Amino acid sequence: MRGVIVREHGGIEKLEITEVPEAVARPGEVIVRVRAVALNHLDVWVRRGVPGHKFPLPIIPGSEISGVVETVTSPGGGWSAGDEVIVAPGFSCGLCAACLSGNDPLCRNYGIYGETADGGCRERIAVPIRNLLRKPSQMSFAEAAALPLDMLTAWHMLVARAQLRPGETVLVHAGGSGIGTAAIQVAKLWGGTVYATAGSAEKAARARALGADAVIEYRTTDFLAEVRSLTSKRGVDIVFEHVGADTFDRSLRALTKGGRLVTCGATTGADVTINLRLVFFKLLSILGSTMGSIAELHEIMKHVEAGRLRPVVDRVLPLGEIAAGHRILEAREAFGKVVLEQR
């Protein structure tokens, strides 16, 4: 079958469209015909490489997948051929104490499709039955693919790690990114006041339309000074961080006493400096976060079905234009998700 493969790290030219091995289901798995795959900065990191981290190359990228169940080899779960599904992007053993307590990412065998195992940039993929969620009937495959990774990550960061409470203030960096658009919605759902950053007036307007109470255009305005102004010098309760080196120090300084910084990424670099006096004098918490549990994703889907959370799709491209999708992400041209689709 046709697919995309990364054999070695490098530029966009390392995205090779070629024949890849056919998907084979093991016991407890189903074959899903892939209809859409959403791109993430994770895909860029897998293609570029990350210093000090080893990816299992060659690898088929693509973490966020929607499609149609093609073959069910094991009974269970009430799934049948023809069912339209979303694939939970994280997988684990399902049997250890971490998994059974709903802390899937703490499982020693935890992984993410497209990062630690072959992902969805191909015609078919074999996935465990427990990773299937029903696609809302009113939602396109492209919209469905734009949901699971970013929405789950944002939910876990704000609800599980930072423990957002109604009435608290949240600074969301890069409010026009896939994860930023998810974070704005999750924070508003939980009763937060949201200040977002954006790189242009157009993205700022769209972030406000999504629910942000105020938006800071970071290219022309110092977000730290603006946060202090917006909060009467108090600072925010939570900073939603995924930018890294360019913002980390000022993100800490933007927090109020007892504030929490929660981070899931470092798109501008991972090497940061921390003023420890600032951390202990202000009683700050720095929280790391990666993905979330399948149970949380099921909870999220209830809000999606009810219309309280929604995917934000910037554009849809054919799978064969994956290189263009990577270029768009790297240039920060998108508001929301870039999705690759195949019929």
DSSP 153-206: HHHIIIIIIS---TT-EEEESSTTSHHHHHHHHHHHHTT-EEEEEESSHHHHHH
In DSSP terms, 5 is beta-bridged to 16
Can you read off the two tokens belonging to residue 260? 């929490």
251 band by pLDDT with thresholds 50, 70 and 90: very high
Q: How far apart are the first and last CA of the chain?
A: 14
Q: How confident is the model over 64-83, as a mean pLDDT? A: 89
pLDDT of 170 strictly over 80: yes
Is the torsion defined by CA of 248, 253, 254, 255 positive or negative?
positive
296 band by pLDDT with thresholds 50, 70 and 90: very high
Whole-angstrom distance, CA of residue 238 vs CA of residue 262: 7
182-223 pLDDT, tens digit per residue, is: 999 999 999 999 999 999 999 999 999 999 999 999 999 999
Which CATH number does 2-147+311-341 carry? 3.90.180.10
In the DSSP assignment, the letter for residue 128 is: E
Whole-angstrom distance, CA of residue 319 vs CA of residue 342: 6
Are 309 and 186 in contact by the 8 Å Cβ rule? The answer is yes
pLDDT at 279: 96
pLDDT at 73: 79
Q: Does domain 151-288 have CATH number 3.90.180.10?
A: yes
pLDDT at 316: 98
Can you read off the two tokens belonging to residue 26? 């093991």
- Residue 282: CB partners within 8 Å, gap ≥ 6? 255, 256, 257, 258, 259
Mean pLDDT score across all residues of the chain: 95
Are 39 and 325 in contact by the 8 Å Cβ rule? The answer is yes
% the chain with pLDDT above 70? 100
% the chain with pLDDT above 90? 93
- Cβ count near 80 (within 10 Å): 9
pLDDT of 343 strictly over 80: no
Can you read off the two tokens belonging to residue 20? 């890849």
- Residue for token pair 């690759």: 340
Count of alpha carbons within 13 angstroms of residue 280, beta-carbon side: 2
78 band by pLDDT with thresholds 50, 70 and 90: confident
pLDDT of 52 strictly over 90: no
pLDDT at 51: 87
pLDDT of 76 strictly over 70: no
- Per-domain boundaries in the chain: 2-147+311-341, 151-288
- Residue 283: CB partners within 8 Å, gap ≥ 6? 257, 258
pTM (2 d.p.): 0.95
Whole-angstrom distance, CA of residue 214 vs CA of residue 151: 21
**How would you classify the pairing of strands 29-38 and 64-72?**
antiparallel
Q: How confident is the model over 17-25, as a mean pLDDT? A: 95
Dihedral (Cα; 199, 250, 42, 94), 10-degree rounding: -130
The answer to whether 2-147+311-341 and 151-288 have equal CATH topology is: yes
Helix (H) or strand (E) holding 318: strand 313-318
Helix (H) or strand (E) holding 33: strand 29-38
91-107 pLDDT, tens digit per residue, is: 999 999 999 999 999 99
- Residue 248: CB partners within 8 Å, gap ≥ 6? 241, 263, 272, 274
For 236, the 3-state DSSP assignment is strand
